[in-house]
Amino acid sequence: MTGSEAMAKCLEMEKVEVVYGYPGVAIANFFDSLGATGIRQVLVRTEQNAGHMASGYARTLGRVGVCAVTSGPGALNLVTGIATAYADSIPLVCISGQVDSDLIGSDGFQEADVTGACESIVKYSYLIKNVNDIPRVFREAFYIANTGRRGPVLIDVPIDVQRAEIKSFEYPAEVSLRTYKPTVKGHIQQIKKAMSELKRAKRPLICAGGGIFLSGAKKELRSFAEQHKIPVVHTMMGIGVLPTDHELNFGMVGNNGGMAANKAMQECDMLIMVGARVADRAVANPDTILENKVLVHMDVDPAEIGKNVGPTIPIVGDAKHIFEDASELEISIDTSAWLGHLREYRKLPNPLKFSDKAVNPAVFIALLSQNMADRSTYVADVGQNQIWSCRNVNVRDGGRFFTSGGMGTMGYAIPCAIGAKMADETRQVVAVCGDGGFQMSMMEFATMKEENVSIKVVVLRNNFLGLVREYQHYSLNDRYEMVRLGSYPKLEDLANAYDISYFRASNMEGLDDLIRQFLDEDGASLMEVIVDPADTVK
């Protein structure tokens, strides 16, 4: 058995269903061996998108997403995909081919120090020098990626190692890493302490982040919140922890969040942060949030607790386990006055005004998400479209919302949506982009068509890089440098080129019907939605 056959065998052992990738000579042997297994190989159009597709797949199923690329430029093109996954704690195993072991360090053709380049954006990385290490390394990589705080793991495999003969293939049943033992179960004394604080609290609040999905704690969070009638707010990565219309959901916090959520953060006397980093976008002045409250911070990564704010009660562990343990401790609190108070904030009008010359993006997104099927997935790109999406999307029970929260990577939505659709064909998947992010990823329409997967793509088109334009409007005296995208490409022609149905909305008339037609279309469809460039998010 050769090294590349062993690599393919490892993926079979891990029950991998699909590998996203792009070949080159340094990884061709691996793809050759992979072809002999039943594992689906998806040829993307640029390597970064292999990472994003694997990310969409991983987020949909809670399993490890796998991508494979060649050495040098191939691997370096994937770097942004890896960093995007790292910032949002998405479990990936990324395999890169490497030049011949003897050539490493000689600046050979298509050689790059990929493990070095990725050091600060991976959970762990390997450069395999001995073919016999392959089974152990793969077993460890999958384990590391999908336990503790999830994240990408990189495996760099020189071409001579892929060609070499392995002595014997034995896939390790157990992983033994003396340096890696993630704490999963929260300390019961800490949980008890938090619960006795909760008993005293008049205005408790849960702020939930993406960690809820990663730990599979959605159900546990919901029953805990419902049991004690605790209002819930969430970060951008936490959209969908509760359905948007749930009576306890008060929306997204942070500088792009809603009034009710931010008021709740300020006024609560007990804040339970769970699976959230207390990062700059969600909490502008982390030190001040402590002033009038007890802070309980739950996270599986001990380094996140106390990184940006020192909590009163830290609980290291997996959210699912912590909520399960907490639910067994009987307490009763009355939050009706607090909930009533917060409901008043919901009624306050939104001061943001939109142009009536084109489509109102806020109304559009609300209509779009309301018309989407049950158990559908909404993927938002980055820019104004992302913020409008976060504020106006309606996620129902079983629905999912994906976006690049930490890294803010433009061009994420389309490849992520393709990966999400491949992971679960029964879900309707809609990607919403601006015209900037769309043009960074539209080449993947070819992958989508060739692979016979159908996603719905919305382009909110204003011919500008809107979020930067908005910054220039407010902070740089309307000097619109480097933000004019212009009117190309013509999206209708582009849709034709890929045999995708095309829809266009330039005003509010008949919008609801148009959205329904767009969503009901068999196969892939593209909808161009004209937005006034003067529309802002602030």
Partner 1 sequence: MKKIYTVLVENRSGVLSKVSGLFARRSFNIDSLAVGTTDDPNVSVMTIVSSGDERTLEQIEKQLNKKLDVIKIKTYEEEDAVSRELMLIKVKYNKSNRKDIMEIVDAMKAEIVDMSENQMLIQICDRPDRTAMLIRLLYQISIVEIARTGTLALPRCE
Contacts of residue 444, Cβ cutoff 8 Å, sequence gap at least 6 = 44, 45, 49, 53, 414, 415, 418
Angle between helix 25-35 and 3-13 (nearest 10) = 50
Please give the residue ranges that form the binding site for partner 1 (CB under 8 A).
115-116, 119-120, 123-124, 127, 144, 177-180, 301-303, 306-307, 310
Beta carbon of residue 94, minimum distance to partner 1 (angstroms, whole number): 16
Q: How far apart are CA 210 and CA 11, in angstroms?
A: 27
Shortest gap between Cβ of 140 and partner 1 (angstroms)?
9
Nearer CB in complex with partner 1: 120/332: 120
Residue 224 · residue 217 · CB < 8 Å: no
Query: Nearest distance from residue 158's CB to partner 1, in Å?
Result: 14
Smaller CB distance to partner 1: residue 71 or 147? 147
Please report how close the Cβ of residue 178 comes to partner 1 at its closest, in angstroms.
Answer: 6
CA–CA distance, 501 with 257 (Å, rounded to integer): 34
**Nearest approach, Cβ of residue 21 and partner 1 (Å):** 25
Q: What is the CA radius of gyration of the chain?
A: 24
Quote the least distance from Cβ 141 to partner 1, whole Å: 11
- Decide whether 142 or 378 has the Cβ nearer to partner 1: 142
DSSP 262: H
Please calculate the CA angle 326-301-285 and round it to the nearest 5 degrees: 90
Rounded to a whole number of angstroms, the minimum distance from the CB of residue 392 to partner 1 is 36
CB-nearer residue toward partner 1: 178 or 353:
178
**What is the C-alpha to C-alpha distance for residues 476 and 15, in angstroms, rounded to an integer?**
53
Output 252 or 273, the one with its CB closest to partner 1: 273
User: What 3 state SS string does 434-470 have?
Assistant: EHHHHHHHCCHHHHHHHCCCCCEEEEEECCECHHHHH
- Taking the least distance from each CB to partner 1, the nearer of 303 and 482 is 303
For residues 304 and 284, give the distance between their C-alpha atoms in angstroms, rounded to a whole number. 16
Distances (CA, A) of 488 to 83, 181, 202: 30, 52, 56
Q: Please identify, using beta-carbon distances, which residue of 127 and 422 lies nearer to partner 1.
A: 127
Neighbours of 107 (CB within 10 A): 9
For partner 1, which is the closer residue by CB, 116 or 398? Answer: 116
Sequential DSSP letters for 524-535:
-EEEEEE--TT-
Question: With respect to partner 1, which residue has the nearer C-beta, 183 or 355?
Answer: 183
Backbone angles phi, psi at 512, to 5 degrees: -55, -45
Nearer to partner 1, 151 or 240 (CB): 151
Shortest distance, CB of residue 123 to partner 1, whole angstroms? 8
Tokens in use for 463? 């011919």
Least distance between partner 1 and beta carbon 119 (Å): 5
Output the six-digit token pair for 380. 């938002």
User: Judged by CB, which is closer to partner 1: 311, or 383?
Assistant: 311
Nearer to partner 1, 2 or 147 (CB): 147
Strands 270-274 and 294-299: parallel
CB-based burial of residue 290 (10 Å sphere; 0-12 exposed, 13-18 middle, 19+ buried)? middle
The DSSP code sequence of 47-65 is HHHHHHHHHHHHHHHTS-E
Cα dihedral sign, 411-417-418-423:
positive
Nearest approach in angstroms of CB 124 to partner 1 is: 5
The dihedral region occupied by 147, where left means phi > 0, alpha psi between -120 and 50, and beta the remainder, is beta
Supply the minimum distance, in Å, between the C-beta of residue 83 and partner 1: 12
State in angstroms the smallest separation of the CB of 243 from partner 1.
34
d(CA 164, CA 5): 10
Would you say 47 or 301 has its CB closer to partner 1? 301
Q: How far is the CB of 228 from partner 1 (least distance, A)?
A: 31
Nearer to partner 1, 82 or 127 (CB): 127
Q: What are the tokens at 207?
A: 């702020």
Instruction: Say how far apart CA 170 and CA 160 lie, in whole Å.
Output: 20
134/194 Cα distance (integer angstroms): 45
Shortest Å, Cβ 137 to partner 1: 12
Q: Running DSSP on this structure, what letter comes out for residue 478?
A: T
